[in-house]
Structure 1
């Protein structure tokens, strides 16, 4: 399917920005090492966008609602711009109801967050096989990001004979939720 280059650029820019914002949210939620160079880069890249709202909405413990709200706003703006540019919606005036825009941006934000956790879990599994004691910042960050999910899943499926099956449960749940969200995800 051919896609207009402008639409592709807007979709890509909105996707990358929302990914960075949600990565920041996930890193703070999992209490990953703030001094990890990758964490520092994510915070440095997103601070100009999140900083003004954080002055009003201070983080509550591990939850940074300002970052989450900005990620939702970025998704909503990208969706709105894509709809305005779409020839299919041009006949309808290129409009969308605020409720539909909120639903699409919530679904897109949740889908992006689940994708982050999917790849972090997959990366943590692979790292546990090939370099379990690596001191590189990337494997450390992946392990810190996915460990809270592993801990929750281990409550349901404890390790059996030294074999941790919790990633299977995590992958299954993420795929089920993303399957339901697929009809609502625009970008």
Structure 2
């Protein structure tokens, strides 16, 4: 593999992964019922509209979920993997089913990491800018709330100290290590195929 193909892989994975994150955020924002009128939500909607609208004509929503955006995220991840393997000099002809499984694993891993890092941002914001009306802060809190709510119901009230993020961090990390990590190892998924693993 030449330096040029290594650079091409880096650029394609970086830009592709950024767009993949935006598409997955579109699914997550609808999943958590985030504010559609938030400027960041509007940016995500506009950025995903060109690819998502044609796909929605073929794939309808299900139970209030935007299935088309999830399918688009998986297709983008699959395409990134195929392009990466081709640039590395490998053929992908007989491996499409395995690549699809790897794409599912990678998108699931990214899904968990979005919540993980959203909680880190939320915890930091609660220290430095509590009750902020910044659109980014509001969106992060809206993403975290459905994940934290079950832990808040189970944990006792500690008088203003919210320890639910600690337990949510542990749960997400265990799912990532025990389920996603083991699935990646069992299927032989190379780390280079997903920067989020």
Q: How high is the TM-score relative to the length of structure 1? A: 0.88
Q: Does 1:113 align with 2:115?
A: no
In structure 2, do the counterparts of structure 1 residues 46 and 40 end up closer, same or farther at CA, with 3 Å as the change threshold?
Answer: same
Cα deviation, residue 44, structure 1: 0.3
CA contact (8 A) 1:26 1:145 kept: yes
* Counterpart in the other structure of 1:5: 7
1:63-114 residue CA offsets vs partner (Å, 9 max, x unmatched)? 1000000000000011011112214x3xxx4445232111110111011111
CA contact (8 A) 1:30 1:62 kept: no
Query: 1:16 and 1:27 mapped to 2: Cα distance?
Result: 16
* Counterpart in the other structure of 1:126: 124
Q: Does 1:50 align with 2:18?
A: no
In structure 2, do the counterparts of structure 1 residues 48 and 83 end up closer, same or farther at CA, with 3 Å as the change threshold?
Answer: same
| Unmatched 5+ stretches in structure 2 | none
* Counterpart in the other structure of 1:141: 139
* Counterpart in the other structure of 1:71: 73
Greater shift in the superposed pair: 56-65 or 125-134: 56-65
- Pairwise CA RMSD: 1.9
1:115-170 residue CA offsets vs partner (Å, 9 max, x unmatched)? 11111111111112222221111111111111011112223434434322211111
In structure 2, do the counterparts of structure 1 residues 132 and 61 end up closer, same or farther at CA, with 3 Å as the change threshold?
Answer: farther
Query: 1:96 and 1:16 mapped to 2: Cα distance?
Result: 28
SS in structure 2 of the partner of residue 97 of structure 1? helix
Cα deviation, residue 176, structure 1: 2.0
CA contact (8 A) 1:38 1:137 kept: yes
| Unmatched 5+ stretches in structure 1 | none
Cα deviation, residue 19, structure 1: 0.3
